[in-house]
Amino acid sequence: MSAAGRVSALWRYPVSSMGGERLERMELLPSGAAGDRTHGVFHAGTGEIAYPGRKREWMALPRAFSRRAADGAVEISTDGQGWAGIDDPGGLAPLSALYGFPAAIRPYAGEGEAGPRPRYARAPLHLLTTAALRTLQAAIPASVLDERRFRPNILIDTPEDVQGIPEYGWVGREFQLGGAVLRGTIPCARCAFTTLEQPGLPDDREVLRALLHRFGRDLGLYCEVVRPGPITAGDAVTLPEAASA
């Protein structure tokens, strides 16, 4: 086995398109990160699911935050300081004011259940390396980048001398992180969400232009869970040695 890097950050996004929470430990299930992207933002009047990048009225979604409380309940915040339950009018009112429409947070339907389905279901997990971020930053040096623009579940810290986007070499390969084993599936295609304003990140159309024209629209890697288990920040990422010719 060879070390390809270490887990630098773990992210969970209880509500799709809202800001997420950085964790020190994450439990990986066959379906992905436990508690990840289980809810969505909806227009309380029409029932329409919010879809950033498709309509201008949805573009403020990543400017608010979501997290899991100690009991597993989903909580929301407009400033990352004061938190409220998703059924609390005292929390929904400022969220609606920020978004500019009457907002509701609702759970997605499970497999075989009636109800709204997640917009994205390409893969259980999304992984990104710091090498990929450095490579994109070199193409758009004036842009403000960090992993939050790309919403990975797992950020892998790779050595400074690693160039390009090394995770593409993990497609079809199994690799271990902590107590879990993953397999790379396909590169992650990007959309206008990468350009949207978030706390500390300005609106920046150059990000998507660079991804479209220099990177084939992709950045990062989708993964599936081969063996569920816990992972923690600092865990090594190990891959089998490549077979000799």
Question: Tens digit of pLDDT for each residue in 134-185?
Answer: 999 999 999 999 999 999 999 999 999 999 999 999 999 999 999 999 999 9
As a whole number, mean pLDDT of residues 13-33 equals 96
**pLDDT (0 to 100) of residue 51:** 83
- Is residue 118 within 8 Å of residue 15, measured between CB atoms? no
DSSP H helix total and E strand total for the chain: 3, 16
The domain locations on the chain are 2-239
- Is residue 188 within 8 Å of residue 216, measured between CB atoms? no
Q: In terms of C-beta density within 10 A (0-12 exposed, 13-18 middle, 19 or more buried), how is residue 171 classed? A: middle
Q: What is the average pLDDT score of the chain? A: 93
**pLDDT (0 to 100) of residue 34:** 96
- Is residue 168 within 8 Å of residue 236, measured between CB atoms? no
CATH of the structural domain 2-239, one choice from 2.40.160.20, 3.90.10.10, 2.40.33.20, 3.40.50.80: 2.40.33.20
**pLDDT (0 to 100) of residue 9:** 98
